[in-house]
Amino acid sequence: MKGQLGEMMARHAKAGRLDWVGLRAERYAPLDIVETANVTETGLVGDHGRAGQRAVTLIQAEHLPVIAAFSDNEKIMPEVLRRNLVVSGLNLLALRKGFLRIGDAVLEIHGPCPPCSRMENELGPGGYNAMRGHGGWYASVATPGVINVGDVVTPA
């Protein structure tokens, strides 16, 4: 995109941060919270995710209190929402169809990750709708590498 709009869309106020990493060994298994993860072409080692556009799921830390408020919960822990990565400080929507560097890895953000019907049980009645528009993003792996909680998150 060229011109002033393209320049504005390429600018971000600051870098973000990787706050949390969760791995799901199987589809319905509880998430294992880890400090470090290896990212391969097919996703996160130890996660059941599949290769392709949905290899890794991300959610913004800033959306957790919003989901809590909409679902009438005091607080929401990331593992309840079943996303792999929690990122803070950088608007993931602004990176849709773009690339995101976390540690040594680069992810390509493809689209919004809709909530699943399990959110009604996890968050209570209305949990599905509480997450709509705040459910995070799915991504493919452009460059494998190692990621660590605390890593800087930037557009790539």
Q: Which residue has the higher pLDDT, 11 or 4?
A: 4
| CATH code for the domain defined by 18-155 | 2.40.33.20
Q: Is the distance from CB of 153 to CB of 15 less than 8 angstroms? A: yes
pLDDT greater than 80 at residue 13:
no
pTM recorded for the entire structure: 0.93
Map out the domains of the chain as residue ranges: 18-155
Q: How far apart are CA 154 and CA 156, in angstroms?
A: 6
Please give the angle made by the CA atoms of 123, 102 and 138, to the nearest 5 degrees: 45
pLDDT at 1: 58
Please name every residue paired with 146 in a beta bridge, in sequence order, or none if there are none.
38
